[in-house]
Amino acid sequence: MKRDKLLLVFPVLVLVLLYLAGCATPPPTQELADAEASVTAAKDACAQCTADWCANVGKDVQSCAPCDGEELAAAESALAKGKALAGEFCSELEARRLLIDAKAKADEALAKCQVAAVPPPPAVGEEVGLKDIFFDFDMSNIRPDAEPVLQENAEVLKNNPNMTIVIEGYADIRGSDAYNIALGQRRADSTKAYLVQLGVDPSRIQAESKGETSKFAAGSTEDAYQLNRRAQFVPVSPGMGPGARIFFKLNDESKPAL
């Protein structure tokens, strides 16, 4: 009888011991510290870059916040759940998984914030009235939305006969350096040719390629690519130093059609 009882109790005891052994993992102390540090860094950086971005474009926070709020919220949620489980018996593995996930999401939110917070080039010389034009992917022809912009630019040049300009052709970051240099030159050349057709003296226009760029918009989104595919007008007037560059901020009227 005792032998039969031992045979019944022994498997249960083995299962209990295996269960306890499976729970015998150290608390996720380091993972918790890493996750908390990453979430805090992401929250602080996103708050700062949102403020900087909104100050740049002159809009309220709700309409121009550049950070990935969903990613940051997911990180905070995973951190809260992992932190709660870290103190519960036999929940260390799940807590560790949640905390590692929280850190990864926070790091991703921070990276997106840092990319989005790169401000556009300063709006120096906007009063001159010259506006940039934009191009389709791998194209150098003048788009319909660029024609009225070039007509306005031609009028500005005609009204300022002492002004000469450099048209800088740009491409997005896709493609080889050599290809994008050639593409940027075709864009600059086609822009110059259009202005010449509108009656601007070709001797007042220099067309040159700057190749690929990400200075107008960082990142690898279609919006960023579009903002970097452009011809930029750099006025050179008497009194301006050699090689002077004037960059123009997009206003609502001159944003490219995506």
Predicted pLDDT of residue 239: 41
Q: 91 Cβ partners below 8 Å, 6+ apart?
A: 85
Q: In this predicted structure, what is the pLDDT of residue 180? A: 94
Question: Considering the entire predicted model, what is its pTM?
Answer: 0.50
The tens digit of pLDDT for each residue in 60-74 reads 444 444 565 777 888
Query: Each residue of 211-227: b (16+ CB within 10 Å) or e?
Result: bbbbebbbbeeeebbbb
Walk me through the domains of the chain, giving residue ranges and CATH numbers.
13-116 (no CATH), 126-236 (3.30.1330.60)
Alpha-carbon span 190 to 193, nearest angstrom: 5
> What is the pLDDT, as a whole number, of residue 244?
43
Rounded to whole angstroms, the Cα distance separating 91 from 82 reads 9
Distances (CA, A) of 69 to 46, 62, 120: 9, 11, 22
The pLDDT value given to residue 51: 63
What is the chain's pLDDT, residue by residue, as a tens digit (258 residues)? 555 555 555 555 555 555 555 565 677 788 889 989 988 988 887 777 666 555 544 444 444 445 657 778 888 898 898 888 877 767 778 888 888 888 888 888 777 666 544 445 543 335 678 999 999 999 999 999 999 999 999 999 999 999 999 999 999 988 889 999 999 999 999 999 999 999 999 999 999 999 998 888 877 788 888 999 999 999 886 544 334 444 333 334 444 544
Comparing C-alpha atoms, which of 43, 42, 39 is closest to residue 100?
Answer: 39
